[in-house]
Amino acid sequence: MLHQPQEWLDGCVDCRKLVVREAAQALSQPRGSALRDRPEHAFAGWRDRETLSATVACIGRPLDETEPLEPIDMTGHPGRRDALACCQTTDADTRLAADLDEESDLPSRHAEWVHLAAELTVELEQDGSQPVRYGERLGAEIVNHVNECTEDLDRRRPIGATSHLRTPQSGACGGASRSEESPMSELETGVATDRAGAADKPVLSSRTSRAAAGWIDCHEAASLTDLYREDYVPKAFRWVDPRPIWQSRNDRIARWIDDPTDDERVRWVEAQRRKGVDTELTVTRYAQNTTLTFIVLGDPGEGDASQYHVLRPALSKADEIDFTYICSDVIYPAGDINEYYDKFYWPYQKLPGPIYAIPGNHDWYDGLHGFMAHFCGADADLRPPQSSKTSRWRRVVRDRFWRRPSEPEQDLIEEMTKLRKERSDQPGPYFAIDSEPLLVVGIDTGIQGRLDQEQGRWLEQISKVPKPKILISGKPLVVDAREKTIPIGGSGSVKEIVDRPEHQYIAVIGGDIHNFQRYPVKLDDGRTIQHIVSGAAGAYTKATHKIPKVEAAKCGCTEEEFRCYPRRGDSLAAYSRLYDKRVGFGRGYLVVPYQQAPAIMRELLDGNVEPTRRADVDEEITQQAWKAAKRITKFPGSAQGPFHQSFSEILDWNDPPPPLFKSFLRVEASEGEVEIRCYAATGCKEHQDNPPLEDHIKGRRQGDGNWSWEVVLE
């Protein structure tokens, strides 16, 4: 640990000799077997908390000066949970044991990946001493990472200690040059500009800050132990385990054999009408409100750390909200009626106001029994008899394998429902919430992303209400840089209704895809409708680096107008760590350093995506990082291969070191004005009560009735 400045001079060695010697060896020797225990490999940015024993900090000075090395005990450092975060070296022998442990856990169905490390070693030996891209050689790469290391240590130096770790010539983390006018605090922990009223105010955002993304200065992961129920033992929810796959089998049956969702939805809505709910399926308790404020949680219900890490950030932004809206997939894996305790009631008991929701495909895997009981207070016995036009053999096969709803455990249900003081008692699986400034319309897209004819007629009718509207849908209408179709009963589509000017839709929020995306779609008549994807409040984070360049011809929006969280570069860096751990046995061959990832994404998208963080703009790309990125986007197989179709599910992580890249929305509406903010849940303790702001837009109604939009967060 760092104590006093004078202690830094003890055991002083020549930093220049270390850098020059390692650079010379790197340029003169093959980079194969030696790479795994060489400092340049450690500098690639991969960290391993189990094997880290000691680190050495090198002071980044000009090569004609002699500077000290300082041993630092980092074993228990709470902010370095994956090894080698910042120029930290470790003994190669201990890593070999960890490699063997990882190898032994490799699933047999991915046996072809076992040979990946050997193939990579051969490639590295063949590469020899090739220079990195843009003419950058390994010696300079080491110097860059030495600078990064010194700045990281400088930030962790005790208050009052004199800095011996930086010079005006030092680069920002990763080696980007830095001038006196651009201090490290702006480049590394810098702020975005959020224009609020007449004055600009700084905010924390991953768009401009590596610290806000969670890459640096995240000294401790947020603790969850006080958030869990006392007798609840959370189990990591994994999408490659057989049990959730089997419990979700209704998805495959619905797609391959027969989908009863439309018929069952009609039965549930009829049961609600027989119960006496409003036939217009509209919540009117806010009808006289001149303002309306709510938060949106998309696809939350895994019940593990990935869901609970969103709680504190969401509660910190839940002041003065009228309600919470869950957008799609309330309970994983199959919406079971008895699994709401620790996936819904307990975690959200402190959220003010009622909680409304629209079901996702996973909530339909028990026939919607759990959802209708907990959100609508529905009585299944009031449903009319089943009727289906499906052929007899399809019904027989479907009924043979279809997952039946669980028998309700009444005592458990009574206990859990006491945790929510305000019940929503929403009228149905699709419904509207009325207020003076805004009508919030929610639709149920079922398993396959479609509406039955009855719901389509209701949507057409409710859309005629003469006031601005936000549509909340189980599936997005624009996602991954292209439009998606949600058909209505074989005739028409949801987007056709949304796009009509007389219906006054100003935004569409869709779940199902587990990240944040925003597309300001321009229509032919000059109007702009904000299409937002918000499904990252708990389930695995969906990779954004797979999103292609955004083009107006495909989705009505340009790359410059598009926003996403995580940023593509951060997504690439985060998934490369998982990819290396699962496929490369943690040796670091497949790691893309977070400093270089934004520049790599710029190259992969033909120079059309410029890094937004100033510290990332001038980053050079090493050959190792470039090859790792190409493997992640292409290997093992083509981009259309089975692995990449389920890339995020296979590499899902539930309790990793930060950053986690979860998110949620806060919507505020008043007469003629709507603001939508996207907040991040990084998993860092520093951010749990002050979540970074990733997007902020404000819409205002103009004199002609159309809405103009301002991007408030620059």
| Res. 673: pLDDT tops 60 | yes
Q: Are residues 363 and 499 in the same domain?
A: yes
Cα dihedral 374, 375, 380, 383, rounded to 10, equals: -170
The percent of residues above 70 in pLDDT, for the chain, comes to 68
The DSSP bridge partners found for residue 487 are 493
- Looking at the domain assignment, is residue 526 inside a domain? yes
Please provide the distance, in angstroms rounded to a whole number, between the alpha carbons at the two ends of the chain: 38
Q: Higher confidence at residue 157 or residue 713?
A: 713
Backbone angles phi, psi at 385, to 5 degrees: -60, 155
Q: Are residues 673 and 559 in the same domain?
A: yes
308: containing domain = 242-273+290-566+660-711
- The alpha carbon dihedral of 284, 287, 288, 294 has a sign of positive
Which of 173, 190, 207 is the C-terminal boundary of a domain?
190
pLDDT tens for 540-577 read: 889 899 899 999 999 999 999 999 999 999 999 998 88
> Are 174 and 313 part of one and the same domain?
no
d(CA 51, CA 365): 42
Bridge partners (DSSP) of residue 710 are 698
* Domain shared by 157 and 91, yes or no: yes
Task: Give the pLDDT of residue 653.
Answer: 62
pLDDT digits 0-9 by tens, 6-58:
333 333 333 333 333 333 343 333 333 333 333 333 333 333 333 333 333 33
Residue among 341, 361, 364, 352 at smallest CA distance from 319 = 352
Q: Are residues 32 and 162 in the same domain?
A: yes
Q: Are 471 and 327 in contact (CB under 8 A)?
A: no
Q: Report which DSSP code applies to 684.
A: B
Structural domain includes residue 28: yes
- Amino acid at position 139, single letter: G
What 8-state DSSP symbol labels residue 369?
Answer: H
Which residues make Cβ contacts (< 8 Å) with residue 151, sequence separation at least 6? 165, 166, 170, 172, 173, 184, 188
184 in a structural domain: yes
Asked which of 168, 190, 212 is the last residue of a domain, the reply is: 190
| 90 CB-side CA count, 13 A | 29
Q: Is residue 318 part of a domain?
A: yes
Single-letter amino acid code for the residue at 403: R
Q: 627-631 contacts: CB < 8 A, separation 24 or more? A: 627/123, 628/576, 628/580, 628/589, 628/590, 628/591, 628/592, 629/572, 629/576, 629/592, 629/597, 629/600, 629/604, 631/579, 631/590
Q: How far apart are CA 472 and CA 115, in angstroms?
A: 46
Distance CA 432, CA 94 (A): 59
DSSP state of 570: H
Closest by alpha carbon to 248, among 327, 180, 333?
333
Mean pLDDT, the chain, as a whole number? 76
Say if residue 453's pLDDT is above 90. Answer: yes
Please tell me the total count of domains within the chain.
Answer: 2
Cβ distance 328 to 301 under 8 Å? Answer: no
| 248/116 same-domain check | no
Q: Are strands 469-473 and 505-510 parallel, antiparallel or unpaired?
A: parallel
Give the list of residues 6+ apart from residue 329 with CB closer than 8 angstroms, or none: 299, 300, 301, 359, 360, 361, 362, 363, 511, 512, 535, 539
The whole-number pLDDT of residue 425 equals 84
Residue 526: which CATH number?
Answer: 3.60.21.10
In-domain check, residue 654:
no
* Cα–Cα dist 413/336, whole Å: 12
Evaluate if residue 109 carries a pLDDT over 90: no
Q: In this structure, how many other beta carbons lie within 10 angstroms of the beta carbon of residue 597?
A: 30
| Domain match, 398 and 252 both | yes
In sign, the C-alpha dihedral spanning 424, 300, 289, 503 is: negative
Q: What would the DSSP string read from start to end of 413-429? A: HHHHHTT-SS----SSS
pLDDT at 461 over 90: yes
Could you report the per-residue pLDDT of 488-500, keeping only the tens digit for each?
A: 987 899 999 999 9
Can you give the pLDDT at residue 151? 39
Q: What is the pLDDT of residues 241-289, one digit of tens each?
A: 788 888 899 899 999 998 999 999 999 999 999 999 988 999 999 999 9
Residue 395 is assigned to a structural domain of this protein: yes
377-413 residues labelled b (16+ CB within 10 A) or e (exposed): ebeeeebeeeeeeeeeeebeebeeebbebeeeeeeeb
| One domain for residues 182 and 262 | no
Model pLDDT, residue 200: 56
Q: Is 509 domain-assigned?
A: yes
Q: Tokens 């036009």 map to which residue? A: 389
- Verify that 178 and 267 share a domain, yes or no: no
598 lies in some domain: no
- 108 and 246 in a single domain? The answer is no
The better pLDDT of the pair 64, 552 is held by: 552
Same structural domain, 153 and 295: no
Q: Are 29 and 89 in contact (CB under 8 A)?
A: no
* Residue ending a domain, choose from 190, 225, 250: 190
pLDDT digits (tens, 9 = 90+) for 344-380: 999 999 999 999 999 999 999 999 999 999 999 999 9
Q: Select the more confidently predicted residue: 441 or 610.
A: 441
Angle between helices 568-583 and 597-604 (to 10 degrees): 100
Note whether 300 and 433 are same-domain residues. Answer: yes
